[in-house]
A and B are shown apart, each in its own frame.
Chain A
Amino acid sequence: MELIIGGCFQGKLAYAKQRWKEAGTRVREEEILDGGSMVLCETAKWCGARSTEKDSFACVRILNQLHLLVRRFVETGKTQEIIPLMDQLLADWPDLLIVCDEVGLGLIPVEETERLYREAVGRTLCHLARQARQMVRITGGFPLVIRSADDAQLPS
């Protein structure tokens, strides 16, 4: 798994597709999950369309807009279910590229949901960063490698 973070509209998804291309794979649109609209079943465990449309959904290569997925959980009071969901996704798709906006770089919002949202996005990213093969921050389309597999500074 690789983590691609940064501000909005910086070319994060394009970078993710480029990474797959470098690995010899052209990502099809149906191989991209969108955090804002992906299907979640009642128990909040990921089921996507895999169980119903197995053939067209045989592979997930990119999870886009993770922040929007986190937001859906926070808004429904299920914040603690995000990490188990991520673990399940990664067990199914260990080569996933995860794309997420950075949303925690501002003053603490007055509204409680907004505060919880920013905090939850941060905590989720911490959890993922610890196991990511690489984490990059995209600015103006360019990647700044924050962590790579050969980095001697890997956190425990």
Chain B
Amino acid sequence: MLYLITGASGSGKSEYAEDVACYLARRDGMRYKLYVATMEAKSEEAQERIARHKRQRQGKGFVTVESLYGLAFSFPGEEKAPFRLPCLPQDCVILLECLSNLLANLMFSDKRSGGQATEAILSQVRQRQRLCRHLVIVTNEVFSDGMLYTGEVLEYVRALGTLNRLLAEEADGFLEVVYSVPLWLKGDRIWQF
């Protein structure tokens, strides 16, 4: 199943998404919770943010995979990808944190266009059955600041909006976390915690 979780900055969406991943793993008796971290520790501020996220998920039993370009994993026996999953897909829930970083990495570090980056992410997500039983993706609401962006920033915002729409359409559950409270936009309220 695919779950997409969005929200404003500081809305508590990351913490909520972690709880969702833990709930799914517990409910379905899955052994591995993979936390795919996409933030580059470029600045002191980024390092602090990463440290805060680490503290937040401490004790929740996640295996952290630092993967700036997303879900490029392989299974035992395959050597192509930098990270090999420790288990079979049915034993694994993956939390991707977060789509807005992943897109920025692909566009600004890996120098792909918005369209190419969108395609790359969609194709990764669409191969999820090969990787995991549940995929939880955290994304970002960056569309209401009233700013008129141009150039590559505009391209980025458009690409993230497109991704959110396409992934929400494919998702089994889509919700906005409004200051720690889930607002369901699609799917049944399957969990309660």
A interface vs B, CB < 8 Å? 3, 5, 7, 102, 104-108, 112, 115, 118-123, 125-126, 128-130, 135, 137, 146-147, 152-153, 155-156
B interface vs A, CB < 8 Å? 8-12, 45, 141-147, 149, 153, 157, 178-183, 189, 192-193
A126 touches which of B45, B143, B144, B179 (Cβ 8 Å): B179
Q: A106-B142, A112-B45, A146-B183 are in contact. Are A126 and B8 (CB under 8 A)?
A: no
- B10 contacts A119, CB within 8 Å? yes
- A122 contacts B12, CB within 8 Å? yes
- A126 contacts B10, CB within 8 Å? yes
Q: A118-B9, A126-B180 are in contact. List 11 more A-B contacts (CB 8 A).
A: A104-B141, A105-B8, A108-B9, A118-B10, A122-B8, A122-B9, A122-B179, A129-B179, A135-B178, A146-B183, A147-B178
Q: How many Cβ-Cβ contacts under 8 Å join chain A to chain B?
A: 81
Chain A residue contacts of B141, Cβ below 8 A = 104-105
Q: Interface of chain B, helix or strand or loop or mixed? A: loop
Minimum CB–CB distance from B185 to chain A (whole Å) comes to: 12
21 contacts between A and B (CB under 8 A): A5-B178, A105-B145, A106-B144, A106-B146, A107-B142, A107-B145, A107-B157, A115-B45, A118-B8, A118-B10, A119-B10, A120-B10, A122-B179, A123-B10, A126-B12, A135-B181, A146-B178, A152-B192, A153-B181, A153-B182, A156-B193
